[in-house]
Structure 1
Amino acid sequence: MNIYRESQSRNGLTKEQIRRTLWQGLEGRKLNKVLMISPDFTRLHSNGGFITNACYHFLRAQGCQVEVLIAQGTHEDISEEQFREMYGDIPYDMMIPHRWREDTVVIGEVPEEYLKEITGGLWTQSLAVEVNRKVLDPSYDLILSVGQVVPHEVIGMANHSKNIFVGVGGRQIINKSHMLGAVLGLEQIMGKDHSPVRQAFDYALKHFLKEVPLVFVLTVTTADGEEICTHGLYIGDERAVLEEAIAKSQEKNIRFLDKEIQKCVVYLDPREFQSTWVGNKAVYRTRMAMADGGELLILAPGVHCFGEDKTNDEIIRRYGYCGRKRVLELFEREELLKENMGAAAHLIHGSSDGRFTVTYAVKEISKEEIESVYFQAVDYDEAVRRYDVSRLKEGGNRMEDGEEIYFVRNPALGLWAAKKA
């Protein structure tokens, strides 16, 4: 049974409406043990924290054992402080971190013939499908996958099967799926359903997890400052729940602009964005709106490293965001990139390919380090004196000296594109 709940109110669904919709999806089930696959802190504004907390307490009140597996993909572990901020009073020891290089098992393979067909011959390697071992644990009566549907640079629209095959997926499927997306090109994927990456994940879900008691709980949200607005909640085990959520997200999370942006200023909340690995959403999500020769200024007070782990950080430092063409050339001969396709894909995604400049304003990485990875750098304090994020409004702003800028408060919540794109 699929359950949809949408709101036409500018404030979205109330907490009580969300709770009642969740209860509707859970009532009548005989459950002794449940695994919740829930978003990490980089998805703070998914409302997945509140939803997980509400389900946890409902299930516990029925005498059910509940565990929370964090769908962190390649991201850093969620700290106890972050967990409490996002998930409230769920005990921290109920949380299970996902180790994408260690905790997974291969459950099948998307064949090369199928991938060749859906990519028009651009990709011919098979795709080994890996998931966290807990997904296959028969002791769970139900696995609830909680997450946000929003435009995404690798798969087109995030969540659903991506929460499984990337969020709690393994090295091979994460690396190859990200490289597949990079080879196809961001502009061909972002904001769309049925991308080749999505089709590959749909294939894997249908063929290799059909016996798993998996139910998806999907949200579509926006945020005005700290307030999360949940426009829709979609619960079910069929693809139709994803399609309904995608339609709502395309309505709420994609901004089509009448003209290209000459100067874009993006703010990265230091709680969510601590690396360029995550912070480059500022690049991915605005590039379809940026004018050739324009400037993207990223105000990133919390960014203190490049990669989310040591290996990826070293790869970024070694090769930098040198552009799609250069990365593909390096990929052909550098074993380090072949062994870490996800990192190679990230280097492609994070570059503007020379169309516009990308300037980072950070506190804890030196100007020389920023410039060594092919970005420009400015002093953070100087930048925020001119571009005071507390005074800028989302969208177009005219500065006192007449400069026009476009301000994005949270790039993770949308996609910006000029209408001509």
Structure 2
Amino acid sequence: MTDLIGGAGHVLDPAAIRAFVLARLAAEDLDGRRVCVIVPDATRSCPLPLLLSAVHEALHGRAAAVTVLIALGTHAPMSAAQLAKHLGGPYPGFEIRNHEWWLPETLVSLGRISADRVAELSEGRMKQPIDVTLNRAVVEHDVCLVVGPVFPHEVVGFSGGNKYFFPGIAGQEIIDFSHWLGALISSAEIIGTRGITPVRALIDEAAGMIPSRRLALCLVVKSGSGDLHAMSFGEPEAAWAACADVSARTHVEYLDAPVRRVLSIIPAKYDDMWTGAKGFYKVEPIVADGGQVIIYAPHITRISAMHPEIEQIGYHCRDYFVKQWDRFQDQHWGVLAHSTHLRGAGTWDPVGGERPRVTVTLATGIPEPVVRAANLDYLDPATIDLEALAADSFVVSQAGEVLFRLR
């Protein structure tokens, strides 16, 4: 059973949010259970202090143990100070952990998905077995409760639900695998696609192997704020689907014609280009052939905190890697996927080289030699007259969560 409150255009009252969480958790068989609460890191807009305080009220003294696990994927870990700001609290009796994806001892294998099944799920794009590796908290707890938002997403279509397991608290192999599958489809094609995409199908298949009971409190957040438009509760697949329908009506804006230049202003919650690249993913569909996206983020000073190899590989279109697979197949596929997502659509052949569809220009604090070595254009943010540039651009402030598409 899935319950949904709110909807597109609504803003839920905090008291109603708390009452919904308390009522839904009160109705579940959680007495004496060990509960793992899986939540996003700070790269997603989400009113976690409000939600976790309600979860704490519902579970403290009732559950045998509660662990709050931060779904980092392969993002950088959050410090104690960052966690306190992000989660609120304190929450007596709750243990709070980062997903330490870089430590093999924190992971457990749940089994394998066969090559034939992978081929079926991926619609023939990939055919090899995949080890389903996840944070061992999933086998150390009786119940896994996902609490997190749903947004248009460049790898899976719409984020949320079982995506908080894969890639949220998964091992790098299956993270890389799922992201490269999305890259083969391409960000521009899959982003904002409703329903079960091939990547979502793979994620759901892997999540079905989790031995603990899975529940989800899915959210539709007003972008850049702590307000909620809607929330749903139930099994992750159904709760996610209910909120994805609302997100599709809330987080997607349509233009009648393509634009020549986008000025994408990146908020401070994205502190490197690995995360700030969402400011490109969400606008690529509206840029005319030969157009430009300027990523304006003076606060960003590095390409990636956790994946320095992207500086050596650089940013390239999908065909650059696919048509030279012998050169790149031993690299982390998640890094290759990120590369294609930020470079966007294009072609490559051994004679003519690479022909990107649009120009990507970084106006960030990353040094010019690093930017150009990574195969992107550079603009010194200190030299930009934002007002003049905005007058001749399609401006997206607080970029990264709302998707722009053509009708």
TM-score by length of 2: 0.90
Instruction: Tell me the CA shift for residue 238 of structure 1.
Output: 5.1
Cα distance in structure 2, aligned partners of 1:63 and 1:332:
51
1:379 aligns with 2:367: no
Q: 1:7 to 1:186 in 2, by over 3 A?
A: closer
Which of 131, 135, 139 is residue 136 of structure 1 equivalent to? 139
* Aligned match of 2:172: 171
1:70 aligns with 2:70: yes
1:109 aligns with 2:112: yes
C-alpha contact 2:219 2:228 (8 A) present in aligned 1 = yes
Cα distance in structure 1, aligned partners of 2:259 and 2:61:
52
Instruction: Tell me the CA shift for residue 247 of structure 1.
Output: 0.6
SS in 2 for 1:75: coil
Q: 1:316 to 1:141 in 2, by over 3 A?
A: closer
C-alpha contact 2:186 2:318 (8 A) present in aligned 1 = no
* Aligned match of 2:399: 411
* Aligned match of 1:25: 24
C-alpha contact 1:39 1:49 (8 A) present in aligned 2 = no
Cα distance in structure 2, aligned partners of 1:7 and 1:180:
31
Q: 1:181 to 1:49 in 2, by over 3 A?
A: farther
Cα distance in structure 2, aligned partners of 1:124 and 1:215:
30
Matches within 5 A, 1:31-110: 31-32=31-32, 33-43=34-44, 45-60=45-60, 62=62, 65-90=65-90, 94-101=95-102, 102=104, 103-110=106-113
Cα distance in structure 2, aligned partners of 1:171 and 1:197:
16
SS in 1 for 2:379: strand
Q: 1:49 to 1:197 in 2, by over 3 A?
A: farther
Cα distance in structure 2, aligned partners of 1:119 and 1:60:
42
Which consecutive unaligned segments of at least 5 residues does structure 2 have?
347-355
* Aligned match of 2:250: 252
Cα distance in structure 2, aligned partners of 1:273 and 1:291:
26
Amino acid at match of 1:279: G
Which of 178, 183, 204 is residue 202 of structure 1 equivalent to? 204
SS in 1 for 2:111: strand
C-alpha contact 1:331 1:344 (8 A) present in aligned 2 = no
Instruction: Tell me the CA shift for residue 21 of structure 1.
Output: 0.7
Cα distance in structure 1, aligned partners of 2:249 and 2:325:
37
1:341 aligns with 2:343: no
1:34-55 Cα deviation digits (max 9, x unpaired)? 2211110111x13344312321
Instruction: Tell me the CA shift for residue 387 of structure 1.
Output: 3.9
Cα distance in structure 2, aligned partners of 1:410 and 1:65:
38
Matches within 5 A, 1:212-291: 212-223=212-223, 227-237=225-235, 239-270=237-268, 272-291=269-288
Cα distance in structure 2, aligned partners of 1:287 and 1:75:
23
C-alpha contact 2:301 2:367 (8 A) present in aligned 1 = no
1:322 aligns with 2:316: yes
Q: 1:50 to 1:301 in 2, by over 3 A?
A: farther
TM-score by length of 1: 0.87
Cα distance in structure 1, aligned partners of 2:234 and 2:123:
32
C-alpha contact 1:254 1:415 (8 A) present in aligned 2 = yes
Kindly report the root-mean-square deviation, in angstroms, between the aligned alpha carbons of the 2 structures.
Answer: 2.2
Cα distance in structure 2, aligned partners of 1:129 and 1:410:
35
Instruction: Tell me the CA shift for residue 91 of structure 1.
Output: 5.4
Cα distance in structure 2, aligned partners of 1:194 and 1:85:
34
1:351 aligns with 2:343: yes
Cα distance in structure 2, aligned partners of 1:381 and 1:187:
31
Instruction: Tell me the CA shift for residue 380 of structure 1.
Output: 1.6
* Aligned match of 1:6: 6
* Aligned match of 1:394: none
SS in 2 for 1:147: strand
Q: 1:324 to 1:387 in 2, by over 3 A?
A: farther
SS in 2 for 1:228: coil
1:330-380 Cα deviation digits (max 9, x unpaired)? 44224xx524111111111110331111111112x2111111111111122
C-alpha contact 1:357 1:376 (8 A) present in aligned 2 = yes
Amino acid at match of 2:334: G
SS in 2 for 1:128: strand
Q: 1:61 to 1:235 in 2, by over 3 A?
A: same
C-alpha contact 1:147 1:218 (8 A) present in aligned 2 = yes
C-alpha contact 1:47 1:219 (8 A) present in aligned 2 = no
Q: 1:379 to 1:338 in 2, by over 3 A?
A: same
Cα distance in structure 2, aligned partners of 1:257 and 1:379:
29
Report how many residues are paired. 391
SS in 1 for 2:182: helix
SS in 2 for 1:263: strand
Q: 1:63 to 1:332 in 2, by over 3 A?
A: closer
C-alpha contact 1:276 1:307 (8 A) present in aligned 2 = yes
Amino acid at match of 1:119: S
Cα distance in structure 2, aligned partners of 1:235 and 1:247:
14
C-alpha contact 1:56 1:90 (8 A) present in aligned 2 = no
1:134-172 Cα deviation digits (max 9, x unpaired)? 1111xx343211111111111111111110021000011
Instruction: Tell me the CA shift for residue 249 of structure 1.
Output: 0.7
Cα distance in structure 2, aligned partners of 1:247 and 1:3:
14
What percentage of residue pairs aligned between the two structures are identical?
A: 26
Deviates more, 1:337-346 or 1:243-252: 337-346
Cα distance in structure 2, aligned partners of 1:319 and 1:284:
19
1:204-227 Cα deviation digits (max 9, x unpaired)? 223x12x4122111101123x5x3
Which of 274, 289, 292 is residue 295 of structure 1 equivalent to? 292
Amino acid at match of 2:197: S
